[in-house]
Structure 1
Amino acid sequence: MITSVQNSKVKEWNKLKKKKDRERTNSFLVEGNHLVQEAYDSNWNIKEIIIEEGTVLPSWLGNKDVTYVSDHVFKSITDTKTPQGIAAVVEMKEPSQQELNRIVILDTVQDPGNLGTIIRTADAAGFDAIILGDGTVDLYNEKVIRSTQGSVFHLPIFQKNLHNEIPSLKERAFQVWASTLEGAKAYTNLPIPDKVALIVGNEGSGIQPSIIDLADEKVHIPIYGQAESLNVSVATGILLYHIANQKK
Structure 2
Amino acid sequence: MSELVITSAANPRLRALSGLRRRRAREESGVTLLEGYEELELALSAGIRPLTLYHCPELMLDPAAQAAVVRQVAASGAEVVRLGRAAFEKVAYREGPDGFLAVVASVVRGIDELPLPADPFLLVCEGVEKPGNLGAMLRTADAAGVDAVVAADPVTDWGNPNLVRASKGTVFSVPVATASTADTLRACHERGVLVVAATPDTDVEYTDVDFTGPVAIAVGAEKTGLTDSFLDAADVRVRIPMTGRANSLNVATSAAIVIYEAVRQRRAAAR
Q: Which TM bucket (shorter chain)?
A: over 0.9
Question: Cα offset for 1:94?
Answer: 5.3
How do residues 1-248 of structure 1 correspond to structure 2 at under 5 angstroms?
1-54=5-58, 55=60, 56=63, 57-62=66-71, 64=74, 65-93=79-107, 96-99=114-117, 100-248=119-267
TM-score, structure 2 normalization: 0.87
How far apart are the structure 2 equivalents of 1:82 and 1:124? 26
For structure 2, which runs of at least 5 residues remain unmatched after alignment? none
Contact 1:44 1:93 in 2 (8 A): no
Report if aligned partners of 2:108, 2:158 keep a CA contact under 8 Å in 1. no
Code of the residue aligned with 2:115 in structure 1: it is: Q
Amino acid corresponding to residue 164 of structure 2 in structure 1? I
Structure 1 unaligned residues grouped into runs of 5+: none
AA partner of residue 68 (structure 2): S
Instruction: State the alpha-carbon separation in 1 of the partners of residues 153 and 53 from structure 2.
Output: 32
**1-structure distance, mates of 2:134, 2:16:** 26
For residue 79 of structure 1, give the secondary structure of its aligned residue in structure 2: coil
Amino acid at match of 1:213: D
Separation of aligned partners in 1, 2:160 and 2:203? 33
How far off is 1:5 after superposition? 2.7
Alpha-carbon offset, residue 238 of structure 1 = 0.2
Per the alignment, in what secondary structure is the counterpart of residue 62 of structure 1?
Answer: helix
Does the 8 Å contact 2:6/2:87 carry over to 1?
yes
In structure 2, relative to structure 1, the CA distance for the partners of 1:168 and 1:81 (3 Å cut) is closer
Q: 2: CA distance between counterparts of 1:220 and 1:114?
A: 19
Distance in 2 of aligned mates of 1:82 and 1:237:
29
Quick check: 1:27–1:91 contact (8 Å CA) kept in 2?
yes
Kindly state the Cα deviation for residue 178 of structure 1 after the two structures are TM-superposed. 0.6
**How many angstroms apart in 2 are the aligned matches of 1:216 and 1:243?**
16
Secondary structure of 2:18's partner? helix
Q: Structure 2 CA distance, aligned partners of 1:111 and 1:211?
A: 20
- In terms of fraction of residues, the more helix-rich structure is 2
Which residue type is aligned with residue 15 of structure 2? K
Change (3 A) 1:190 1:53: closer
Equivalent-residue separation in structure 2 for 1:192 and 1:81 (angstroms): 41
Distance in 2 of aligned mates of 1:122 and 1:85: 28
Identical positions, percent: 28
Rounded to whole Å, the distance in 2 between the matches of 1:143 and 1:58 is 25
How many pairs does the alignment contain?
A: 248
Instruction: Give the Å deviation of 1:124.
Output: 0.6
How far residue 53 of structure 1 moved from its aligned partner, in angstroms, is 4.6
Moved more, 139-148 or 64-73: 64-73
User: In 1, distance between residues paired with 2:9 and 2:46?
Assistant: 31
User: Greater shift after overlay, 97-106 or 59-68?
Assistant: 59-68
The residue matched to 2:154 in structure 1 has which SS? coil
Query: What is the TM-score normalised by the length of structure 1?
Result: 0.94
Structure 2 Cα separation of the partners of residues 227 and 165 of structure 1: 30
